[in-house]
Structure 1
Amino acid sequence: MIPYLQAESISKRYGEQMLFEGISFTIFKDQKVALIAKNGVGKTTLMELIAGFDSPDEGQITLTNDVKVGYLRQNPDLNENLTVLEEALRSDNPALDVIAEFEAAIKHHDESAIERLTVKMEELNAWDFDVRVKQILSQLKITDFDQRVGELSGGQKKRLALANVLVNEPDLLLLDEPTNHLDLDMIEWLEAYLEKTNCTLFMVTHDRYFLDRVCNEIIEIDQNQIYDYQGNYSYYLQKRQERIEQLQASTEKAKNLLRTEQEWMRRMPKARSHKAKYRVDQFYDLKERASQSRQDDKLELNMASSRMGKKILELKHIFKGYDNLLLITDFSYQFSRFEKVGIVGKNGTGKSTFLNVITGAIPPDSGQIDWGQTIRIGYYRQEGIDFQPNEKVIDIIKNIAEVIEFEDGQKMTASQLLTRFLFPPETQYNLVEKLSGGERRRLYLCTILMGNPNFLILDEPTNDLDIMTLNVLEDYLAAFGGCVVIVSHDRYFMDKIVDHLFVFDGNGEIRDFPGNYTIYRNQLEEEEEARKKAETTSKPKAVQEKSKPKVSNKMSFNEKREFEVLEKEIEKLEAEKAALETALNSGEHSAEELTEMSNRFGELTDELDEKEMRWLELSEKN
Structure 2
Amino acid sequence: MATNLINLETVGKAYPNRTLLDGVSLGLSDGDRVGIVGRNGDGKTTLLSLLGKTEPADSGRVTWSGGLRVGLLTQRDTLDPDATVRDQVLGGMAEHEWASDARTRDVLTGLFGGLDLPGLSHGLDSTVGPLSGGERRRVALAQLLITDADVLLLDEPTNHLDVEGIDWLARHMRQRKGAFAVVTHDRWFLDEVCTRVWDVQDGQVFEYEGGYSAYVLARAERERIAAVEADKRSNLMRKELAWLRRGPPARTSKPKFRIDAANALIADEPPARDQPELMSFANSRLGKTVFDLEDVTITAGDKTLLSDLTWQLGPGDRIGLVGVNGAGKTSLLRALATAAFDERQPAKGVIKVGKTVRLAYLSQEVAELDPTWRVLEAVQRVREHVDLGKRQLSASQLCEQFGFTGTKQWTPVGDLSGGERRRLQLLRLLMDEPNVLFLDEPTNDLDIETLTQLEDLLDGWPGSLVVVSHDRYFVERTTDVVQALLGDRNLRMLPGGIEEYLRRRREQMDSGLGSTPTSTGGAKPKPSADARAAKKELAKIERQLDKLTAEEAKLHEDMAVHATDSTKLAQLTARSATLADTRENLENRWLELSED
Q: Does 2:328 align with 1:350? A: yes
Unaligned runs of 5+ residues in structure 2 are 231-272, 274-280, 512-596
Greater CA radius of gyration, 1 or 2?
A: 1
Corresponding position of 1:513: 494
Structure 2 counterpart of 1:142, one-letter code: G
In structure 2, what is the Cα distance between the partners aligned to 1:390 and 1:58?
Answer: 38
Corresponding position of 1:69: 70
Whether the aligned pair in 2 keeps the contact of 1:327 and 1:508 (CA below 8 Å) is: yes
Q: Does 2:306 align with 1:332? A: no
Corresponding position of 2:126: 147
More deviation, 419-428/446-455: 419-428
Q: How does the TM-score come out when normalised to structure 1?
A: 0.64
In structure 1, what is the Cα distance between the partners aligned to 2:150 and 2:135?
Answer: 25
Of residues 139, 152, 163 in structure 2, which corresponds to 1:184?
163
Corresponding position of 1:237: 216
What do residues 292-340 of structure 1 show as CA deviations (whole Å, max 9, x unaligned)? xxxxxxxxx9xx9993343211222221223553211111212211001
Corresponding position of 2:49: 48
Whether the aligned pair in 1 keeps the contact of 2:154 and 2:183 (CA below 8 Å) is: yes
What do residues 87-133 of structure 1 show as CA deviations (whole Å, max 9, x unaligned)? 334xxxxxx3x23xx68xxxxxxxxxxxxxxxxx97xx896387566
In structure 2, what is the Cα distance between the partners aligned to 1:88 and 1:44?
Answer: 24
Whether the aligned pair in 2 keeps the contact of 1:498 and 1:516 (CA below 8 Å) is: no
What do residues 234-262 of structure 1 show as CA deviations (whole Å, max 9, x unaligned)? 3333333333334449x9xxxxxxxxxxx
- Return closer, same or farther for 1:512/1:132 CA change in 2, 3 Å cut-off: closer
In structure 1, what is the Cα distance between the partners aligned to 2:491 and 2:169?
Answer: 26
Whether the aligned pair in 2 keeps the contact of 1:142 and 1:160 (CA below 8 Å) is: no
Corresponding position of 2:480: 499
More deviation, 235-244/373-382: 235-244
Of residues 425, 434, 444 in structure 2, which corresponds to 1:463?
444
Of residues 332, 345, 354 in structure 2, which corresponds to 1:372?
354
- Return closer, same or farther for 1:44/1:396 CA change in 2, 3 Å cut-off: farther
In structure 1, what is the Cα distance between the partners aligned to 2:453 and 2:399?
Answer: 16
- CA positional deviation for 1:201: 0.7
Give runs of aligned pairs for residues 609-620 of structure 1, distance below 5 A.
none
- Return closer, same or farther for 1:497/1:130 CA change in 2, 3 Å cut-off: closer
What do residues 357-393 of structure 1 show as CA deviations (whole Å, max 9, x unaligned)? 2212997442222222221211112244546777754
- CA positional deviation for 1:488: 1.5
In structure 2, what is the Cα distance between the partners aligned to 1:477 and 1:247?
Answer: 27
- CA positional deviation for 1:219: 1.3
Whether the aligned pair in 1 keeps the contact of 2:390 and 2:460 (CA below 8 Å) is: no
Whether the aligned pair in 2 keeps the contact of 1:19 and 1:42 (CA below 8 Å) is: yes
Q: Does 2:433 align with 1:452? A: yes
Structure 2 counterpart of 1:488, one-letter code: S
Give runs of aligned pairs for residues 465-614 of structure 1, distance below 5 A.
465-514=446-495, 516-518=497-499
- CA positional deviation for 1:456: 0.7
For residue 158 of structure 1, give the secondary structure of its aligned residue in structure 2. Answer: helix
Unaligned runs of 5+ residues in structure 1 are 90-95, 104-120, 252-300, 532-622
Structure 2 counterpart of 1:366, one-letter code: K
- CA positional deviation for 1:458: 0.8
- Return closer, same or farther for 1:39/1:453 CA change in 2, 3 Å cut-off: same
Structure 1 counterpart of 2:127, one-letter code: R
- Return closer, same or farther for 1:431/1:157 CA change in 2, 3 Å cut-off: farther
Corresponding position of 2:288: 310
- CA positional deviation for 1:436: 5.3
In structure 1, what is the Cα distance between the partners aligned to 2:3 and 2:54?
Answer: 24
- Return closer, same or farther for 1:477/1:407 CA change in 2, 3 Å cut-off: closer
In structure 2, what is the Cα distance between the partners aligned to 1:491 and 1:411?
Answer: 30
- CA positional deviation for 1:26: 0.7
Give runs of aligned pairs for residues 85-164 of structure 1, distance below 5 A.
85-89=86-90, 96=91, 98-99=92-93, 128=101, 134-135=108-109, 137-139=111-113, 142-143=119-120, 144-164=123-143
In structure 2, what is the Cα distance between the partners aligned to 1:75 and 1:380?
Answer: 26
- CA positional deviation for 1:69: 2.1
Whether the aligned pair in 2 keeps the contact of 1:326 and 1:508 (CA below 8 Å) is: yes
For residue 157 of structure 1, give the secondary structure of its aligned residue in structure 2. Answer: helix
RMSD: 3.8
Corresponding position of 1:202: 181
Corresponding position of 1:173: 152
- CA positional deviation for 1:218: 1.2
Whether the aligned pair in 2 keeps the contact of 1:325 and 1:507 (CA below 8 Å) is: no
What do residues 394-443 of structure 1 show as CA deviations (whole Å, max 9, x unaligned)? 56446x44845658999987655533432123223435565555434322
In structure 2, what is the Cα distance between the partners aligned to 1:407 and 1:175?
Answer: 38
- Return closer, same or farther for 1:3/1:390 CA change in 2, 3 Å cut-off: farther
- Return closer, same or farther for 1:185/1:29 CA change in 2, 3 Å cut-off: same
- Return closer, same or farther for 1:240/1:397 CA change in 2, 3 Å cut-off: closer
For residue 160 of structure 2, give the secondary structure of its aligned residue in structure 1. Answer: coil
Structure 1 counterpart of 2:296, one-letter code: I
What do residues 156-190 of structure 1 show as CA deviations (whole Å, max 9, x unaligned)? 22222211221233221111222222111111111
In structure 2, what is the Cα distance between the partners aligned to 1:512 and 1:439?
Answer: 34
In structure 1, what is the Cα distance between the partners aligned to 2:176 and 2:504?
Answer: 28
Structure 2 counterpart of 1:495, one-letter code: E
Higher relative contact order (CA 8 A, sep 6+): 1
Corresponding position of 1:322: 300
- CA positional deviation for 1:520: 5.4
**How many residues align structurally?**
450
Q: Does 2:404 align with 1:423? A: yes
> What percent identity do the matched residue pairs reach?
36
